[in-house]
Chains A and B, each alone.
Chain A
Amino acid sequence: MCGIIGCVGREDTLDTLVHGLSKLEYRGYDSAGVALSEAGDDGADGSDGSEGGLDVVKCAGKIDDLRAALEGRETSGPVGVGHTRWSTHGPPTDANAHPHVDCTGRVAVVHNGIIENYQALRDELSTAGHDFRSDTDTEVIPHLVEAGLHEGLDMEDAVRGAIARLEGSYAIAVVVAGEETVFAARNDSPLVLGVDDGATYLASDVPAFRDFTDRVVYLADGEFARLDDAGWTVTDVTGEVVDKDVETVDWDPEETGKSGYDHFMLKEIHEQPRALRQCLRGRVDELGGAIDIGDLGDLSPTGVQFVAAGTSYHAALYAARLFREAGVPAQAFLASEYATGVPPIGDALVVGVTQSGETADTLSAMREASRRGARTLAVTNTVGSTAAREADHTLYIRAGPEIGVAATKTFASQLAALNLLSLATAESGGRDVVAALRDLPGDVQTLLDDPRAEAVAAEFVDAGAYFFIGRGYHYPVALEGALKMKEITYKHAEGFAAGELKHGPLALVTEDTPVFAVVTGDDELATKTVGNVKEVEARDAPVVAVTDGQSDVERYADHVLELPETHRRAASVLANVQLQLVSYHVANELGRSIDKPRNLAKSVTVE
């Protein structure tokens, strides 16, 4: 999914576009760009006259990267278009970022959608001598417009001619050097106009311009819009003017991307089944008991060192245990510590786990390892990110864009992806795990349908501190549960290995400190963790058991958050979802800024 924007009639065109793009970030944020057009001067005032210019600035990266690229540049003009992109196929590079321009650099196009017949058009245009600079389907459009202009058509006819050639889905906006006009068209992709006195906007979605106007015109498939200093006109394919309603939106623009949820975090928690399906798609063969992650399956590491930070570090701890259980020596390191004190690597594969692929500490650790001759693998959510480009191998977790600063669905997808990595490169057998992974999306849905976490959260909103304990695969979950609680509630929370409690932290446990215990199965690990639960119960601490009900932990618990029975590796993912919900609801009760907690940023690009 991508987002487009355009505006005419503002003095601060560039700022308007960049602001609008930042509001469309929920549609994707792996590359962005703008194009501004300035009218020509016909020399009527006695000056030399000029042709009018077109300024295009674009880059791979977030809107902030675009801001940095624009820093110090004189990019101006009264009309412009912009684009923010999220690629699922093909890398986000500067060349592939929108806007795309023609051979002369005088036509710029932004596009959301897919041009299905682009290959045929591209072949035809290439034969006619047009020079292509990107791998995108979009780039045929400016060249088609260029061809029309070359034949002597005016801008409107050239754009209409180009669009008549396209098959597929699109919302398109075009600017041409020297024309103070934006042309737009849509088919099967969203496009809406914003109307104000003296200025007109277009965008994939209303939030892009909602700070400037609340009057909107929704375009229908097959309609064209012309934005110029006289205002706006909508026409059909034959050029007939279409009489459009101007509607007033009186809702909060921030709400749109959340599609009915109060926060992006809650939306993303609920997206986990979908994200997991996407992660597992085509990679899991339950009936054959096989995993297919392409060439990565040929890696057979004799040792693995994971480097990561924050939530990703908890995923790394979990993954290291997977490999160790499979008989491969493996350790997880905090990236910031690793980079400044690299351990002996030997033949180990160094795996950087980073959602954004831009985490400075993790990049730095991977670079240090690389410099020492180690093979590196990036496990990331972001196609073409720095980590993906620099590592020898990349495994994508395919969770889709995550807006909430507190990682939720990407953690689940990291755990799933790391299971795939371990199964494909280090384990033999594992049919039961494969089946459990395939059940995972439905099992997560089971938890999301269960409202109990909210009630538990309500019970403990005023607690002095929150403790989380778990053993084995559930130890990283305990750490992650505590991190989530800290991040979004600003309350004190700690996660401990269940067995470690009695070696010190137990001194903190009181009747005012609920303890969340993750216990699944009824094996030795479960029995021992139940023993630790008894220790805290004896200190009168309220106990919340997160359990599949196989052990007798419920006897010592004040509240139970249920999990469906599954393989213990999958159970960790499920337990974490319950803890996410608890933290979310505590933070919500406390009225915290859940999507943007104080002092925190989504991806930490400084060391």
Chain B
Amino acid sequence: MSVRTAVVLAAGEGTRLRPLTRNRPKPMLPAANRPILEHVCDALIDAGVDRLVFVVGYRRERVQEHFGPSYRGVPIEYVVQDKQLGSGHALLQAREAVSGPLLVVNGDRLIAAESVAAVRDAFAEDDARAALAVIERADASQYGAVRLRGRDIEEIVEKPDSDAFRLINAGIYAFDASVFEAIEATPREDGELALTDTIARLVDGERVRGVRTGGLWVDATYPWDLLEVASEVLARGRVSGPDRADGGLERAGSVQERADGVWVDPSARVAEAATLRSPVVVGPDCELAAGAVVGPDVALGRNVTVGANATVERAVLDADTRVGAGSTLLDAVTGQSVRLGAVTAIPGGPGDVRVGREVHEDQRLGAVLADRVRARGGVSFAPGTLVGPEATVGTGAHVDGTVPGGAEVVR
């Protein structure tokens, strides 16, 4: 019998995506114009899942408010992980909500419906204790690396020191209900229970199917990765969410394709003298003034304003962002309610980005501006700049490097 219940792990913050995760968990960050988690649910539902259990925790209101009681007609039950003590601990919270076999996925990565279906089918056909999707990645040592023997998992190691691995755990699993006991029996590491530790124990002595998949698999590790994710989503045209579904209140963008690769929500106001360059998506309630040039590779979330003669290229501007007249934004990521005054300049990457003690060199990043950053006007941002939430930048200032949240930058 095929598995139709999926548990979605959506409780973690995703700390490497700070400062964008100040007010929401990583699954709620935008993949172009819609949260990553919507794409995950689409893959599950397209693969035949008819019941969703969300494990929520960090800033869970954002998930609950967005999704409500159901998504695309599929009921959602919420269970809460109060403390984020690992993926195994997260899954354990869903124990009471699940009775039979189950699929488990991470809520923070884009996956393909085919991969979900492949794991489910392999689990159903084979007499295995569990099944999980594996994909090939050149940088396997950055992830949970996997070695196969025949069709089964031989070894699973988190971030191995060795470069010998080519396959990684794609984070799509099928289990029967006994997985909960297996998790409980797994010793905690530093107080945390990782699902992969449980799988590593299962591999010793039991069969765990490794299902090779080749479909879409996109993970945003750092904030600037959201630009790549957006390009991927735009290239595949996955911009249309479900229509209003929740008590007469709208939910996602019901964007319509105006021309090849140009999607605009019907409630957006685009001046006749504004230019949209494909691929581009414009969310609900947006306003684009005369002379604005938006695209290619731009996603505007809901209620974004682009002022007169502003240019926006390769950018993800999240909800309620205001771009003042005459601004130029290249390779830019903004959080929610970012207000940029007239003639803001983000000339674009490449630049070096500092995250803690690490330096990521030559990233194609103009700037990442977290939620509610204010730049008064005439502000310029050096390539690779990260600005924390609620920071304020005074008129005419030049910003470089990393600005902490709440800071005031003056000229």
CB contact between B72 and one of A188, A278, A287 (< 8 Å): that residue: A188
Interfacial chain B residues near A248, Cβ < 8 Å: 99
A425 at the interface (CB under 8 A from B): no
Q: Is the CB of A220 within 8 A of B48?
A: yes
B residues 116-164 with Cβ under 8 Å of A? none
- Distance to closest chain B CB from A90 (angstroms): 12
B residues 56-113 with Cβ under 8 Å of A? 56, 59-61, 63-65, 67-70, 72-78, 80, 96-97, 99-100
B residues 9-65 with Cβ under 8 Å of A? 22-23, 48, 50-51, 54, 56, 59-61, 63-65
A190 to B70, CA, bound (A): 8
- Output the nearest chain A residue to B3 by Cβ-Cβ distance: A245
- Given A277-B284, A438-B303, the answer on whether A218 and B4 have CB atoms closer than 8 Å is yes
- Output the nearest chain B residue to A276 by Cβ-Cβ distance: B303
B205 at the interface (CB under 8 A from A): no
A125 to B128, CA, bound (A): 54
- Output the nearest chain A residue to B242 by Cβ-Cβ distance: A188
Interfacial chain A residues near B96, Cβ < 8 Å: 250-251
A221 to B48, CA, bound (A): 8
Q: Is the CB of B1 within 8 A of A245?
A: yes
Q: Which of A442-450, A539-547, A583-591 lies at the interface? A: A442-450
A286 to B64, CA, bound (A): 30
B250 at the interface (CB under 8 A from A): yes
Q: Is the CB of A286 within 8 A of B73?
A: no
- Output the nearest chain A residue to B71 by Cβ-Cβ distance: A190
- Distance to closest chain B CB from A269 (angstroms): 10
A442 to B51, CA, bound (A): 31
Q: Is the CB of B247 within 8 A of A400?
A: yes
B327 at the interface (CB under 8 A from A): no
Interfacial chain B residues near A189, Cβ < 8 Å: 73
Interfacial chain A residues near B267, Cβ < 8 Å: 281-282
Q: Is the CB of A274 within 8 A of B73?
A: no
A218 to B76, CA, bound (A): 12
A400 to B248, CA, bound (A): 6
A residues 56-90 with Cβ under 8 Å of B? 86-88
Interfacial chain A residues near B23, Cβ < 8 Å: 445, 449
Q: Is the CB of B77 within 8 A of A251?
A: yes
Q: Is the CB of A1 within 8 A of B99?
A: no
- Output the nearest chain A residue to B98 by Cβ-Cβ distance: A247
Q: Is the CB of B249 within 8 A of A275?
A: yes
B residues 261-299 with Cβ under 8 Å of A? 267, 269, 271, 284-285, 287, 289
A191 to B250, CA, bound (A): 21
Q: Which of A34-42, A153-161, A253-261, A414-422 lies at the interface? A: A253-261
Interfacial chain B residues near A303, Cβ < 8 Å: none
A285 at the interface (CB under 8 A from B): yes
Q: Is the CB of A443 within 8 A of B337?
A: yes
Q: Is the CB of A277 within 8 A of B302?
A: yes
B181 at the interface (CB under 8 A from A): no
CB contact between A287 and one of B70, B100, B245, B271 (< 8 Å): that residue: B271
- Distance to closest chain B CB from A194 (angstroms): 13
A245 to B61, CA, bound (A): 31
Q: Is the CB of B246 within 8 A of A1?
A: yes
A59 to B182, CA, bound (A): 54
A47 to B84, CA, bound (A): 70
B residues 216-252 with Cβ under 8 Å of A? 244-250
A407 at the interface (CB under 8 A from B): no
Q: Is the CB of B69 within 8 A of A274?
A: no
A118 at the interface (CB under 8 A from B): no
- Distance to closest chain B CB from A271 (angstroms): 6
A26 at the interface (CB under 8 A from B): yes
Q: Is the CB of B247 within 8 A of A446?
A: no
Q: Is the CB of A267 within 8 A of B64?
A: yes
- Output the nearest chain A residue to B100 by Cβ-Cβ distance: A245
Q: Is the CB of B50 within 8 A of A442?
A: no
- Output the nearest chain A residue to B5 by Cβ-Cβ distance: A247
A-contact 0/1 string along B340-379, CB 8 Å cutoff? 0000000000000000000000000000000110000000
CB contact between A441 and one of B60, B320, B371 (< 8 Å): that residue: B320
A191 to B80, CA, bound (A): 25
Interfacial chain A residues near B385, Cβ < 8 Å: none
A47 to B2, CA, bound (A): 50
B residues 296-315 with Cβ under 8 Å of A? 302-303, 305, 307-308
Interfacial chain A residues near B371, Cβ < 8 Å: 449
Q: Is the CB of A286 within 8 A of B287?
A: yes
Q: Is the CB of B5 within 8 A of A442?
A: no
A188 to B244, CA, bound (A): 12
Interfacial chain B residues near A442, Cβ < 8 Å: 303, 319-320, 336-337
- Distance to closest chain A CB from B222 (angstroms): 22
Q: Is the CB of A256 within 8 A of B75?
A: yes
- Output the nearest chain A residue to B325 by Cβ-Cβ distance: A287
A243 at the interface (CB under 8 A from B): yes
A271 to B4, CA, bound (A): 30
B-contact 0/1 string along A162-206, CB 8 Å cutoff? 000000010100000000000000101111100000000000011
A314 at the interface (CB under 8 A from B): no
Q: Which of B51, B73, B249, B320 has the most CB of A within 10 A?
A: B73
A434 to B405, CA, bound (A): 29
Interfacial chain B residues near A530, Cβ < 8 Å: none
Q: Is the CB of B285 within 8 A of A1?
A: no
Q: Which of B1, B99, B303, B308 has the most CB of A within 10 A?
A: B303
A residues 469-502 with Cβ under 8 Å of B? none
A188 to B75, CA, bound (A): 11
- Given A190-B73, A251-B97, A446-B372, the answer on whether A287 and B305 have CB atoms closer than 8 Å is yes
Q: Is the CB of B74 within 8 A of A439?
A: no
A260 to B52, CA, bound (A): 13
A401 to B249, CA, bound (A): 9
A280 at the interface (CB under 8 A from B): yes
- Distance to closest chain B CB from A4 (angstroms): 12
Interfacial chain B residues near A186, Cβ < 8 Å: 73
A438 to B321, CA, bound (A): 11
A443 to B294, CA, bound (A): 25
Q: Is the CB of B287 within 8 A of A219?
A: no
Interfacial chain A residues near B59, Cβ < 8 Å: 449
Q: Is the CB of A88 within 8 A of B248?
A: yes
Q: Is the CB of A260 within 8 A of B56?
A: yes
A251 to B93, CA, bound (A): 13
Interfacial chain A residues near B249, Cβ < 8 Å: 271, 274-275, 278, 400
- Distance to closest chain A CB from B387 (angstroms): 17
B-contact 0/1 string along A100-121, CB 8 Å cutoff? 0000000000000000000000
A residues 270-311 with Cβ under 8 Å of B? 270-271, 274-275, 277-278, 280-282, 285-287
- Output the nearest chain A residue to B249 by Cβ-Cβ distance: A400
Interfacial chain B residues near A285, Cβ < 8 Å: 269, 287
A9 at the interface (CB under 8 A from B): no
Interfacial chain A residues near B250, Cβ < 8 Å: 274, 277-278, 281
- Output the nearest chain B residue to A169 by Cβ-Cβ distance: B73
Interfacial chain A residues near B303, Cβ < 8 Å: 277, 438, 441-442
| 21 A–B contacts from the bound complex (CB under 8 Å) | A1-B248, A28-B247, A28-B248, A87-B248, A192-B75, A250-B96, A256-B75, A259-B67, A259-B69, A260-B60, A260-B63, A261-B61, A267-B65, A270-B61, A270-B64, A271-B65, A277-B250, A441-B303, A442-B337, A445-B23, A449-B59
Q: Which 8 A-B pairs have the closest CB atoms?
A: A442-B320, A260-B78, A442-B337, A260-B64, A400-B249, A88-B248, A449-B23, A400-B247
Residues of A within 8 A of B (CB): 1, 26-28, 86-88, 169, 171, 186, 188-192, 205-206, 218-221, 243, 245, 247-248, 250-251, 256-257, 259-261, 267, 270-271, 274-275, 277-278, 280-282, 285-287, 398, 400-401, 438-439, 441-443, 445-446, 448-449, 564
Given contacts A261-B61, A443-B337, could you give 7 more A-B pairs where the C-beta distance is less than 8 Å?
Answer: A251-B77, A256-B77, A274-B65, A277-B250, A278-B250, A438-B285, A449-B22
Residues of B within 8 A of A (CB): 1, 4-5, 22-23, 48, 50-51, 54, 56, 59-61, 63-65, 67-70, 72-78, 80, 96-97, 99-100, 244-250, 267, 269, 271, 284-285, 287, 289, 302-303, 305, 307-308, 319-320, 322, 336-337, 371-372
